[in-house]
C-alpha cells in the first residue's frame, strides 16, 4: 500500500463512496416506488420498470445484495481513510481517531443521507434507472447472496415470518383505494373523483335508500272511471306507469305510455281491457337489495323499472335504472313539464335550507355536509316522527345530529315542509 500514489488512494475512496451512495439510493428508491405506477410503465413496455418489479418480487435477495455491498464498501472506505490519514499525519492514536470520525462523516453525508433523500424524492425514475445494473450484480453475486440467505431464512422461520412473493404482495382495501382517489389531487378531475367515490358507496347503499317513495309514485288505478284514467294518461310526465287495481299493493303491470297513446288514437281502441292488454309483467325488488346487485339484476333481466316491496310484499316505492345511474354520476335529468320545482339542497345566506319532508337523508348529508343518522328512517319526515314519537304540530323545532330542524308545515299526518339551520346557526338559535 505504501507504493500506491496518494492520489490513487483518494480517487479509490471517492469511487467507493459513489458506489455506496448508488446502493443506498437504489434501495430507498425501490422500497419507496409506487408499484402500481411501475406496473403501468411495465405494461407500456418500459424495460426499467419491468426489471424493478422483478427485483421487488425478490426483496430478500435484493436487500442482501445491497447490504452486503454497503458493508464491504464502507469497510474499505474506513481502511482507505485510515491509510490516507497515516500517510499524511503519521500513525498517532489521535490521527486514527480523527480518521474514523472523518470516514463516518463522509459516509453519513455522501453515502447515506443525501442519496437516500434523492431516492425517496424521485423513486420511480431512480428505481427504473438503477434496476438494470442491480439485476446484473445480483446474478454475479448469487453464490454469496444464497449463502447469506440460508441463515436469514432460518432466522425468519424461527420467528414465524413469512417470505416470498405472496407475502410481499400489496393489496389495497376499499378504504385505502378511496384514500388514493381522494389524494389524486390534480391527477383526477373533480367530477371523475366524485363518480369514483360514489361507486365505492354503492357497496353499502340499498334500494330503499334511492327509490322514489310510495307517496311520490305516479300510477293508474284500473278501478277508477275510464275518464279519470284518460286524464291521468294525458297529464302524466313519465314514460312508464305502474297500474294497479283498487289499492297500490295490487300492482298488475307496467304500462308504456306511448303504446297507450297510439292505441287511444285508433278508432274503438279506448277501453280498460285494451289498456290491460298492453301491460307488461311487473318486476318486483326487495327494498333491502344492494344497489350494486340490483344494477346487475336489471342487466340480466333486461329491465329498467322495478316495484320496490318490503318483506310483507307491500309496495314501498319505485326504482329505475336512471335512479342508479344518478346515484353514480349525479343528477342529469331535467325537470319534467308540469312538475313542481325541486328544492335546492344548499345553504342560503342566512345559513338555512328549506326542504320537503320527503327529502332523503342521504342526499341531505352528502350535499349539506351534515351528519343526520342513516340507520333508521330514510327521509326527514320519518326521522322527525321517530324522534318525536308522534305527529308534530307546526311550528316546532328539535336538534338532531348537530342540526336544528324546524317543522313549518304538517299535512295528511306527515311533515311536508321543514327548515334546516346550519350547525353554526343552530347554536345561536338555541342560545336565543
Residue 402 Cα distances to 89, 151, 285, 380, angstroms: 76, 60, 35, 14
Q: What is the pLDDT of residue 337?
A: 43
Residues of the chain with pLDDT under 70: 1-2, 162-172, 174, 176, 180, 184-187, 267-269, 331-344, 425-432
Pick the closest to residue 174 from 202, 194, 195 (CA basis).
202
Q: What is the pLDDT of residue 106?
A: 87
User: CA 421 to CA 406: how far, in whole Å?
Assistant: 8
Pick the closest to residue 68 from 118, 142, 123, 4 (CA basis).
142
Query: Which residue pairs, CB below 8 angstroms and at least 24 apart, start in 113-117?
Result: 114/21, 115/21, 115/22, 115/24, 115/25, 115/28, 116/24, 116/25, 116/27, 116/28
Give the predicted TM-score (pTM) of the model: 0.59
Superfamily in which the 207-329 domain is placed by CATH: CBS-domain (3.10.580.10)
Q: What is the pLDDT of residue 432?
A: 43
**What SS3 state is found at 237?**
coil
Q: What is the pLDDT of residue 336?
A: 47
DSSP assignment of 265-312: HSTT--SHHHHHHTPBPP-EEETTSBHHHHHHHHHHHT-SEEEEE-TT
Output the nine-digit C-alpha cell for 89: 499525519
Q: Exposed (0-12), middle (13-18) or buried (19+): which is 159, by Cβ within 10 Å? A: exposed
Q: What is the pLDDT of residue 237?
A: 82
Q: What is the pLDDT of residue 341?
A: 45
76-125 pLDDT, tens digit per residue, is 988 888 888 888 887 788 888 888 888 889 889 988 899 999 999 999 99
Q: What is the pLDDT of residue 340?
A: 41
Multiple choice CATH, 352-431, 3.40.50.620, 3.40.228.10, 3.30.460.40, 3.30.465.10: 3.30.465.10
Residue with cell 284514467: 229
User: CA 7 to CA 112: how far, in whole Å?
Assistant: 24
Which of left, alpha, beta for 428 (phi over 0: left; psi -120 to 50: alpha)? alpha
Domain layout of the chain by residue ranges: 6-168, 207-329, 352-431
Q: What is the pLDDT of residue 284?
A: 94
Amino acid at each position: 500500500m505504501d507504493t500506491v500514489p496518494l492520489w490513487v488512494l483518494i480517487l479509490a475512496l471517492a469511487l467507493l463512496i459513489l458506489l455506496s451512495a448508488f446502493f443506498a439510493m437504489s434501495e430507498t428508491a425501490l422500497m419507496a416506488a409506487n408499484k402500481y405506477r411501475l406496473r403501468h410503465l411495465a405494461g407500456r413496455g418500459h424495460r426499467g420498470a419491468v426489471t424493478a418489479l422483478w427485483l421487488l418480487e425478490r426483496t430478500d435477495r435484493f436487500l442482501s445484495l445491497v447490504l452486503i455491498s454497503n458493508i464491504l464498501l464502507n469497510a474499505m472506505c474506513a481502511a482507505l481513510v485510515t491509510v490516507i490519514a497515516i500517510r499524511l499525519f503519521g500513525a498517532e492514536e489521535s490521527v486514527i481517531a480523527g480518521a474514523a470520525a472523518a470516514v463516518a462523516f463522509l459516509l453519513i453525508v455522501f453515502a447515506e443521507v443525501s442519496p437516500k433523500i434523492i431516492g425517496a424524492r424521485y423513486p420511480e425514475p431512480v428505481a427504473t434507472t438503477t434496476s438494470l445494473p442491480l439485476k446484473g450484480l445480483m446474478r454475479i453475486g448469487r453464490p454469496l447472496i444464497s449463502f447469506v440467505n440460508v441463515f436469514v431464512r432460518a432466522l425468519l422461520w424461527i420467528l414465524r415470518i413469512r417470505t416470498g412473493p405472496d407475502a410481499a404482495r400489496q393489496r389495497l382495501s376499499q378504504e385505502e383505494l378511496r384514500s388514493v382517489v381522494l389524494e389524486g389531487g390534480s391527477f383526477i378531475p373533480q367530477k371523475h373523483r366524485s363518480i369514483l367515490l360514489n361507486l365505492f358507496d354503492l357497496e353499502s347503499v340499498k334500494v330503499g335508500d334511492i327509490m322514489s317513495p310510495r307517496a311520490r309514485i305516479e300510477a293508474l288505478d284500473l278501478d277508477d272511471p275510464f275518464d279519470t284514467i284518460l286524464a291521468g294518461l294525458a297529464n302524466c310526465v313519465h314514460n312508464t306507469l305502474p297500474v294497479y287495481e283498487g289499492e297500490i299493493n295490487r300492482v298488475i303491470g307496467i304500462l308504456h305510455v306511448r303504446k297507450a297513446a297510439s292505441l287511444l288514437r285508433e278508432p274503438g281502441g279506448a277501453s280498460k281491457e285494451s289498456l290491460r292488454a298492453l301491460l307488461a309483467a311487473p318486476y318486483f325488488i326487495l327494498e333491502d337489495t344492494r344497489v350494486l346487485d340490483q344494477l346487475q339484476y336489471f342487466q340480466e333481466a333486461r329491465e329498467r323499472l322495478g316495484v320496490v316491496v318490503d318483506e310483507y310484499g307491500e309496495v314501498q316505492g319505485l326504482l329505475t335504472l336512471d335512479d342508479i345511474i344518478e346515484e353514480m354520476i349525479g343528477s342529469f335529468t331535467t325537470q319534467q313539464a308540469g312538475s313542481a320545482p325541486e328544492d335546492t339542497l344548499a345553504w342560503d345566506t342566512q345559513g338555512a335550507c328549506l326542504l320537503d319532508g320527503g327529502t332523503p337523508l342521504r342526499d341531505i348529508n352528502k350535499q349539506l355536509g351534515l351528519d343526520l343518522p342513516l340507520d333508521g328512517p330514510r327521509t326527514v319526515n320519518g326521522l322527525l316522527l321517530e324522534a318525536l314519537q308522534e305527529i308534530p304540530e307546526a311550528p316546532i323545532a328539535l336538534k338532531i345530529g348537530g342540526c336544528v330542524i324546524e317543522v313549518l308545515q304538517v299535512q295528511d299526518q306527515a311533515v311536508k315542509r321543514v327548515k334546516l339551520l346550519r350547525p353554526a346557526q343552530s347554536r345561536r338559535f338555541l342560545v336565543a
